[in-house]
Structure 1
Amino acid sequence: MGFLSNPVSNFSLYLLLFFFLISFELIPVAQSASDITSLVYKGCAKQTFSDPTGVYSQALSALFGSLVQQSSKAKFFKTNTGSGQTTISGLFQCRGDLSNSDCYTCVSKLPQMSDNLCGKTIAARVQLIGCYILYEISGFAQISGMEMLYKTCGGTNVAGSGFEERRDTAFSVLENGVVSGHGFYTTNYQQVYVLGQCQGDVGDSDCGECMKSGVQRAQVECGSAISGQVYLHKCFLSYSYYPNGVPRRSSSSSSSSSSSSSGSGNTGKTVAIILGGAAGVGFLVIFLLFARNLMKKHDGIGNTWVLKIASFFKGGDT
């Protein structure tokens, strides 16, 4: 008895092969745009500007337009618009491991978000996971670069497992890494993943000092928490402990290796799309083989089965 002799058992085998094919679509892909554009925090000045002639609004709109435009070709840009008392200075910065297209995607969300979250305040800062934007009108009071703006700590504690020693060693590597990496560094040490970045106009030495201050804040504020993020005015850092190993997309030892990791993620997405298409084609081939097999049976049985299958897809009765 040949391979195509039993339509029912063959159809079960075809279904098994089909589900085997589509199972490969579950390949994890790189971090999505929705992740990098998620809000972390906002900082809005209490005072709004009086703008009866619309001069401030025009200057702010021009500023935002310039920042968004530059985000397609740079990860940090600082400029100002207006003149005299109506001068507004501002900047954007993207995380060092983002591509230019992802940076643009992230920054282009910020003007509208700033307006929705802060309105027409004289200064504002909106921080997303992948980027942030900052603006202030002329004469706005300056704050220290070491001023802590925001922090968050994971709800799970992992004290007593040697975690704090591992984390502190990773922090030590990070402090040196942001200096040698000229403002951005990411690495993992024994399941502890750390990332740090300084504002683009901060020198290497000042960046190292800012990161050192951020590390001390993280140690005090988060204690033995499994993860944490600390944002100072001129730098920020994050850490996460993965007892089962750092996920592939987060594993890197420098900004260059982070870019490679991002490339691997894009490759994974491409593979998933190709395999998804192959699964669809495979199902069509399997269905056609099954139908041909039925047609090979004697006319009565074969035609009846084909008519029933056709009726099922049309939603009719036979």
Structure 2
Amino acid sequence: MAKNACQLLLPFSLQFFFFFILASSSPDAFLYGGCSQIKYTPDSPYQSNLNSLLTSLVNSATYSSYNKYTIMGSSPQDVVYGLYQCRGDLSMPDCATCVAQAVTRLGPLCPQTCGGAVQLDGCFVKYDNASFIGVEDKTVAMKKCGPSDGYNSDEMGRRDAVLAGLNGAGGAYRVGASEDVNGVAQCVGDLSMGQCQDCLTEAIRRLKAECGGAVFGDMFLAKCYARYSVSGAQNYARSSNHGRTLFLRPRIFMG
């Protein structure tokens, strides 16, 4: 077995995701990240291809809010797949800055690993030695529910209306509002519209079921997310330790 390539050493590749909510709402605020347990050898063909991939992602983000790449190698073990997705409301300069920050974070977060992912507030970047592009994945990557300020039927009615509007809207990036309640949802651009709708329906279902009467909620699945907030609630959450579901969750991927 060659030692300079990313080869599957075990039947499953285990990834651990570490979650942090920072006191900043800027696009480059870190939300979560994860790394494969499989390592590549320094100065191997895989590392060279990975560097080429990450450079392509950063360059592409200067003119496109989404892109995917496959860097071929001399052997199947040297192939690397990757993509990035910026939040739909970001300007191109902000998108480029966010993706560059995400790629910069991948190095210390996932040193010499054959797969890695980073979700910042404004963008998502992922690479792997196994193809994941175009594959729907509804695994929960991160969830966070804010505190409850007591059940307010009118407020929750507006929340439910906003989430229903997001679920029924078209497109990969969706926003909605009702008085003091705001919502946003987005799919990664490699999904078909049918896959996107299926993913968002699940994210919104989980968000309502698991966050109940919370003043804000975030539900990030592996390929889509849905979020809502009562006016000012997210700013409060980011500057405090309140909230019910900040957690560390292991995920298992087929290699």
TM-score (norm 2): 0.75
Distance verdict in 2 for CA 1:52–1:44, change over 3 Å: closer
Determine if contact 2:138/2:199 at 8 Å carries over to the other structure. yes
What's the CA shift for 1:36?
0.5
1:39 aligns with 2:30: yes
What's the CA shift for 1:53?
4.4
Once residues 62 and 124 of structure 2 are traced to their aligned partners in structure 1, the CA distance between those partners, rounded to angstroms, is 14
Look up the SS of the partner of 1:145 in the other structure: coil
Counterpart of 1:242 in structure 2 is 231
The C-alpha deviation readout for 1:218-268, integer Å capped at 9, x for no partner, is: 012211110011111111111001289xxxxxxxxxxxxxxxxxxxxxxxx
Once residues 134 and 39 of structure 1 are traced to their aligned partners in structure 2, the CA distance between those partners, rounded to angstroms, is 14
Distance verdict in 2 for CA 1:204–1:82, change over 3 Å: closer
Counterpart of 1:74 in structure 2 is 64
What's the CA shift for 1:82?
3.4
One-letter amino acid of the counterpart of residue 43, structure 1 = G
Once residues 115 and 90 of structure 1 are traced to their aligned partners in structure 2, the CA distance between those partners, rounded to angstroms, is 15
Determine if contact 2:42/2:112 at 8 Å carries over to the other structure. no
Which of 87, 100, 105 pairs up with 1:95?
87
The C-alpha deviation readout for 1:266-290, integer Å capped at 9, x for no partner, is: xxxxxxxxxxxxxxxxxxxxxxxxx
1:203 aligns with 2:192: yes
Once residues 211 and 59 of structure 1 are traced to their aligned partners in structure 2, the CA distance between those partners, rounded to angstroms, is 33
The C-alpha deviation readout for 1:10-69, integer Å capped at 9, x for no partner, is: xxxxxxxxxxxxxxxxxxxxxxx98110101112222222x1542221111110000000
What's the CA shift for 1:123?
1.2
Counterpart of 1:10 in structure 2 is none
1:216 aligns with 2:205: yes
Counterpart of 1:120 in structure 2 is 112
Once residues 131 and 196 of structure 2 are traced to their aligned partners in structure 1, the CA distance between those partners, rounded to angstroms, is 25
Relative contact order: is structure 1 or structure 2 higher (C-alpha 8 Å, sep ≥ 6)? 2
One-letter amino acid of the counterpart of residue 178, structure 2 = Y
Which of 173, 186, 200 pairs up with 1:184?
173
What's the CA shift for 1:143?
7.5
Once residues 92 and 229 of structure 2 are traced to their aligned partners in structure 1, the CA distance between those partners, rounded to angstroms, is 26
Larger proportion of strand: 2
Once residues 42 and 175 of structure 2 are traced to their aligned partners in structure 1, the CA distance between those partners, rounded to angstroms, is 47
Distance verdict in 2 for CA 1:95–1:158, change over 3 Å: farther
**Once superposed, what is the RMSD of the aligned Cα atoms?**
2.2
Larger Rg: 1
Matches for 1:1-318 after TM superposition, within 5 Å: 35-49=26-40, 51=41, 53-83=43-73, 84-138=76-130, 144-177=136-169, 179=170, 182-242=171-231
Look up the SS of the partner of 2:160 in the other structure: helix
Distance verdict in 2 for CA 1:98–1:176, change over 3 Å: same
Distance verdict in 2 for CA 1:243–1:144, change over 3 Å: closer
TM-score (norm 1): 0.61
Once residues 123 and 38 of structure 2 are traced to their aligned partners in structure 1, the CA distance between those partners, rounded to angstroms, is 25
Distance verdict in 2 for CA 1:158–1:202, change over 3 Å: farther
Determine if contact 2:32/2:120 at 8 Å carries over to the other structure. yes
One-letter amino acid of the counterpart of residue 226, structure 2 = L
Determine if contact 1:158/1:226 at 8 Å carries over to the other structure. no
Once residues 34 and 219 of structure 1 are traced to their aligned partners in structure 2, the CA distance between those partners, rounded to angstroms, is 23
Determine if contact 1:72/1:104 at 8 Å carries over to the other structure. yes
Unmatched 5+ stretches in structure 2: 1-23, 234-255
Larger proportion of helix: 1
Look up the SS of the partner of 1:108 in the other structure: helix
Determine if contact 2:31/2:121 at 8 Å carries over to the other structure. yes
One-letter amino acid of the counterpart of residue 221, structure 1 = E
Determine if contact 1:86/1:138 at 8 Å carries over to the other structure. no
Look up the SS of the partner of 2:57 in the other structure: helix
